[in-house]
Each structure stands twice: as C-alpha cells, then as structure tokens.
Amino acid sequence: MCVMQKVKEEKSAFISVMGKSLERIEDNQHRLDNAEGYSEVWEIVKANVKQVLHKQRKGMLLFLDDMPLRLGAYHPLGTNNLVLNRTLVTIVEATAKSRKLLNAFVYTLLLHEYLHALGYVEEAEVRPLVYQISKNCFGGEHIAAKLAEQGPWSILRGLPLDSLRAPKRVMEIVKDFEKTNRRYIV
Ligand SMILES: [Zn+2]
C-alpha cells in the first residue's frame, strides 16, 4: 500500500471516529437538556458511567431531604441510597429558571454520589472523574462540564447561602427513580 493511500485511510477512519463521538455528544446534550425529572437524568448518569468506566450498579434509590446548603447530596456507605438536598435543588430551580441548568446541576450531584456508590471513596478521585465523564459525554463547553469543573455551587455564586433558611420537611423517596421496565413498555 502506498503511503498516500495509508494516510488517506487513516484520515477517513479518524473522521469517522470523530463523527461518531460528535453524534454521541449531541445525543447526550439533547437528552440531558430536555430530561424531565430525576429518573431521566439518572438514566443518563448511568449510561455515561457505563460507557466511560464500564461500570454499573443497579437498584439505587433516591431520597430527597432538606439539608444545610453547603451539602449537595450524599451516599450512606453500605446502602443503595442516594440522598439529594431538596432545599438546594429548590433554590437552583428558582434561581436558574432554566431546565437545562437545573438538569446539569442534578446530573453533577447524582454522578458524584453514584461514583461513591461504585466504590470510588476519595473526593480527590471522584471530582476529577466527574469532570472527565462530563467532558467526554457532553463536550467541554456544555454546562454539565462547566459545573463539574467549577463545582456545582458556582451557579449560586453571590447568593447569601448562609442566611437562607428553609423549613425542614420529612425525607421523601423519589418514586420510580430506577426504571425496572423497559422505556417504552407501558
Ligand atoms: Zn463526595
């Protein structure tokens, strides 16, 4: 095979790989930007982790609780539970006024806790992984990658978080968080 032919083939293989990953990024962006509710964001989190890290864990449950605003979410070790700060999500929902931003915020928090649940215990390990996965799946310019890079609290910059008080309500479970049925079977 002549050199030019080889270069040409390598170039077209490269373009085809690039095209596929661009397509995947656009698909991910579209899904996350338009996701309606926790379980749709969760599906994306799981699919992204599976794709990048080839790991998955089924049967997770999501709880909402009112917590101090410096805490976004947590995963009690040894359980299948993720607990998300309902007060914080409510504030982001009210301030962001955009589904896209709210979804990216929830995505970042759920991805972080999911990585803990998968056995990545150290913060120093989880944070860069959240950024790597977000960048890989949405592209570096997407809000999910920006939030992962700058920290999810960056969208609340300027808000007097310490002086905000919210009533403490009972912890609730998010129904049908993990879909056991296939997407289109009703
Ligand atoms: Zn953490």
CA-wise closest residue to 32 among 46, 53, 18: 46
Evaluate whether residue 70 is within a structural domain: yes
The domain tally of the chain equals 1
- Residue 74 CA to ligand 1 center (angstroms) comes to 7
Query: What range does the domain containing 120 cover?
Result: 21-173
Q: Does residue 158 belong to any structural domain of this protein?
A: yes
- The CA 71 to ligand 1 mean position distance, Å, reads 10
What pTM was computed for the model? 0.86
Please indicate, yes or no, if residue 3 is contained in any of the structural domains: no
Residue 109 Cα to ligand 1 midpoint, Å, equals 9
- Between the two ends of the chain, the Cα-to-Cα distance in Å is 55
**Inside any domain, residue 151:** yes
Spacing, Cα 126 to ligand 1 middle (Å): 7
**pLDDT above 70 as % of the chain:** 94
Residue 1 falls inside a structural domain: no
Mean pLDDT of 146-173: 84
Please give the residue that has the higher pLDDT: either 151 or 17: 151
Residue 92 covered by a domain = yes
In a domain, 140, yes or no: yes
